[in-house]
Amino acid sequence: MSYSRDERRALCTLLDEAGPEAPTLCEGWTTLDLAAHLVLREHRPDAAAGMLGGPLGWYTAHVQHRLAERTPYARLVKTVRDGPPLLSVFGIPGVDERANLVEYFVHHEDVRRAAPGWRARDLDQGLTEQLWVRLRMTRLILRKVPVGLEFARDDVGNGEHENGAGRQLRMTVRTGTPVVTVVGSPAELTLWAVGRTTVARVRMDGTEQAVRALTEASWRL
């Protein structure tokens, strides 16, 4: 089973249904902009280097704008649905699942949760566990938050074992004091960790001052 592929297909179905002018949670982007971003990411390695900003950010934005302006929306969505080209790094067996699961899960929710009346999905348990494992990677994103930080799951029982198998329920993200514990399901914690803080259904445990400092901090992937 490929959860990355499932999220890719579900996102593309939603993009087709929503059309090119629907809002997303990506600031300033419509669904057209998001589709162009995903095509650029997998098909334009020359421009992908500036996706996180830096000196090449202007070139990435320029290429993405041209893709959105010159490529029919339906073709952009089809290109995303068809997956990465064979000669792309994302086309290497196993890389798509490792590198794209969070990308496509988050962008799927970017479209879903930008629409009025959205509801949280009931996710496959396997997908939930994969998102939990990948939350370790958010330590880099959150390395500059002004407090110690840990994640705690609220989607499983309080015991350390379930059906005889050990299950980690907490994860240290950043050492330091004071500590704030962000509590939620792996899906909601993922969305919170990559900056979708206004829609992520989490709660924060810690002193009032520490929680306020974390809430006022800014980061985004």
Q: How confident is the model at residue 105 (pLDDT cuts 50, 70, 90)?
A: very high
Q: What pLDDT does 159 receive?
A: 47
Q: pTM of this prediction?
A: 0.91
Looking at the fold, whether 73 and 131 belong to one and the same domain comes out as no
**Contact in structure between 178 and 157 (CB atoms under 8 Å):** no
Q: Which of 79, 112, 145 is the last residue of a domain?
A: 112
Q: What pLDDT does 167 receive?
A: 65
Looking at the fold, whether 36 and 100 belong to one and the same domain comes out as yes
pLDDT at 49 over 50: yes
Alpha-carbon gap, residue 51 to 94, rounded angstroms = 22
What is the separation of C-alpha 93 from the centre of its chain, rounded to a whole number of angstroms?
21
Residue 15 lies in a domain: yes
Residue 120 lies in a domain: no
**Contact in structure between 3 and 72 (CB atoms under 8 Å):** no
Q: How confident is the model at residue 181 (pLDDT cuts 50, 70, 90)?
A: very high
pLDDT at 169 over 90: yes
Range in 83-92, 111-120, 158-167, 207-216 the model is least confident about: 158-167
Domain that holds residue 103: 3-112
Work out how many domains the chain is built from and give that number.
2
